[in-house]
């Protein structure tokens, strides 16, 4: 969703208990100011390494250190690094947790894996009714499992197969 629309939605939810942001590299370049406003109001940032570098062009080359810089700059609770075939990594102020990729059949369509990771993680946090670091660590596994299902077929078929 366009960053300006995201900000409009967020302004309609002043009592939001948890705000997660997942952006695209194109918006990082074209709408940086609006994205900065969103980041300042977010708790979690989902980003792949290229998106993180685009957000923080002067950050250290090490992805964990770059994520920690993002944590401090925008006062985030966690950065969830989407690592593709290497899984995902939750980076907190003083620790990080790696979730390796789930085993499964060959990758059919990687489109939407990051969205499935975010959706699975946030869905689990909603079930847990909390979002502390331990809960995020637990939910990361669910997010990784959802990402694995998403890439097992074209479109949403992999996710739908896991429901039925």
Annotated catalytic residues are: 115
* Strand ranges inside 12-144, DSSP E: 20-22, 44-48, 78-82, 88-91, 96-99
What is the DSSP code string of 34-62?
A: HHHHHHHT-SEEEEEHHHHHHH-TTS-SS
* Helix, strand or coil, per DSSP, at residue 96: strand
Residue-wise burial string across 112-133, b where 16 or more C-beta atoms lie within 10 A, e elsewhere: bbbbbbbbbbbebbeeeeebee
């Amino acid at each position: 969703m366009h960053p300006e629309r995201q900000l409009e939605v967020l302004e309609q939810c002043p009592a939001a208990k948890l705000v997660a942001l997942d952006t695209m590299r194109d918006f990082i370049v074209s709408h940086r100011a609006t994205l900065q406003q969103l980041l300042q109001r977010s708790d979690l940032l989902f980003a792949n390494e290229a998106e993180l570098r685009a957000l923080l062009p002067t950050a250290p080359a090490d992805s964990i250190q770059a994520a920690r810089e993002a944590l401090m700059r925008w006062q985030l609770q966690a950065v969830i690094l989407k690592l593709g075939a290497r899984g995902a990594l939750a980076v907190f102020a003083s620790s990080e947790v790696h979730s390796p990729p789930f085993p499964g059949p060959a990758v059919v369509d990687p489109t939407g894996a990051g969205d499935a990771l975010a959706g699975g993680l946030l869905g689990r946090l909603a079930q847990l009714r909390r979002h502390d670091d331990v809960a995020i660590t637990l939910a990361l596994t669910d997010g990784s499992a959802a990402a694995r299902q998403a890439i097992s077929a074209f479109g949403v078929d992999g996710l739908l197969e896991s429901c039925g």
